[in-house]
Structure 1
């Protein structure tokens, strides 16, 4: 029940008219898109009016605006519309990547900050291969990064992006604390605030690490 969450997080659910929904496709790859959430105070779920159906019930909803940035990892089911039942809730009380999140578990009680201790279940491996560069990536400066956590739930956060056309990659100089980054499939979704020409593209590719930090190797660039 969301009623046990702090009031500031419930306020985020109530006032946000747009959120980012992350689902998993048939190959276990994350797919991010903007949706319209609906929340009833103290209700057990968050409704997503334009979420469509999902094949895998493991989903995530990212709320970012005034106040804390809140990520809900939950299980989805259809009951007239898509409903997301929270299993874990992360809340960042600042914009910097060094801010450690508050973490609430399946009972929506606060647990040890920023650390998810669910058992690892594994996720899809990187596809591999060279990146496919697209001119729409040249002006990208920030975006939502969606990946798959070690417990099988998608995870998402907004972060800074540095395009590297020569290297054919999108570099991620600072990953937020609490984000379980690991080599595997990823999705970058540029929202209005993250692209110089308005709503930017959605990028599907591989999230890879290295001595120079994390990067996304784009394999497909689609209109958001």
Structure 2
């Protein structure tokens, strides 16, 4: 698929020395980790190293490239063969700094999906764990981070976004979400920027918008 992508997206793959790999564990929860991507021009896969070279529980994965240039999210299927290889199935690209911009969307069925939204059928995934959140004082200073969740089609999704701590409510509020991010309530993880804590919990919607209810903070 990568050979048919625009030049600016292939350039992102080629020059980025770090990306975020999101996998889904045996309980249906997303897990994010920094990896080193390796891309060969026009190749069918993006290879990853640095923690991503083991077999994955679920072949549905995502790679987020959020350095200079367009922010690019690759959703794909992974297989292990002397390392981990990700075959892109769908690629989102957000251009510039416009928070309300529609992403460009490409997939293996059409070179470009005109709607800017994923139109694949929904696949059931893990429900929220429920219960009260566990607040950790380290969350008081979180202002941004990487949110990873599982989309309605069974693929993980990730984005870097602003975070508003709400200690009284025991949640991390998400005042803005990128256009095109397919959200459903369920398990999520959030890695605070700048080496801050990693939160695992539930992604929930409500009258005051989307929020993460922390259940474990590392």
TM-score range, shorter chain: over 0.9
Structure 1: gaps (5+ residues): none
Q: TM-score when scaled to structure 2?
A: 0.96
User: Would you say the 8 A contact 1:101–1:113 is kept in 2?
Assistant: no
Counterpart in the other structure of 2:35: 35
- Matched position secondary structure for 1:138: helix
- Any idea what the Cα deviations from partners look like across 1:22-63, whole Å, max 9, x if unmatched? 000101111111111110111000000120321100000000
Give, in angstroms, the shift of residue 2 of structure 1.
0.5
- Matched position secondary structure for 2:141: coil
Which residue, 69, 75, 81 being the options, matches 2:77? Answer: 75
Counterpart in the other structure of 1:110: 112
Deviates more, 1:178-187 or 1:105-114: 105-114
Which residue, 155, 162, 165 being the options, matches 1:160? Answer: 162
Which residue, 125, 128, 141 being the options, matches 1:126? Answer: 128
Cα distance in 2 for residues equivalent to 1:21 and 1:137: 23
Give, in angstroms, the shift of residue 122 of structure 1.
1.4
Residue pairs, 1:42-81, within 5 angstroms: 42-50=42-50, 51=52, 52-81=54-83
Counterpart in the other structure of 2:215: 219
Cα distance in 2 for residues equivalent to 1:61 and 1:115: 18
- Matched position secondary structure for 1:131: coil
Which residue, 201, 205, 210 being the options, matches 1:205? Answer: 201
Quick one: structure 1 residues 108 and 36, their matched pair in 2 at CA, closer, same or farther if it must change by over 3 Å? farther
The CA RMSD over aligned residues, in Å, is 1.1
Q: TM-score when scaled to structure 1?
A: 0.94
User: Would you say the 8 A contact 1:185–1:207 is kept in 2?
Assistant: yes
- Any idea what the Cα deviations from partners look like across 1:145-196, whole Å, max 9, x if unmatched? 1111111000111110001111110000011110011111111012xxx2xx
Counterpart in the other structure of 2:96: 94
Write out the 4+ residue segments of structure 1 that deviate beyond 6 Å after TM superposition. Answer: none
Give, in angstroms, the shift of residue 202 of structure 1.
1.3
Quick one: structure 1 residues 97 and 122, their matched pair in 2 at CA, closer, same or farther if it must change by over 3 Å? farther
Give, in angstroms, the shift of residue 218 of structure 1.
0.2
User: Would you say the 8 A contact 1:145–1:158 is kept in 2?
Assistant: yes
Counterpart in the other structure of 2:142: 140
User: Would you say the 8 A contact 1:119–1:151 is kept in 2?
Assistant: yes
Cα distance in 2 for residues equivalent to 1:146 and 1:84: 17
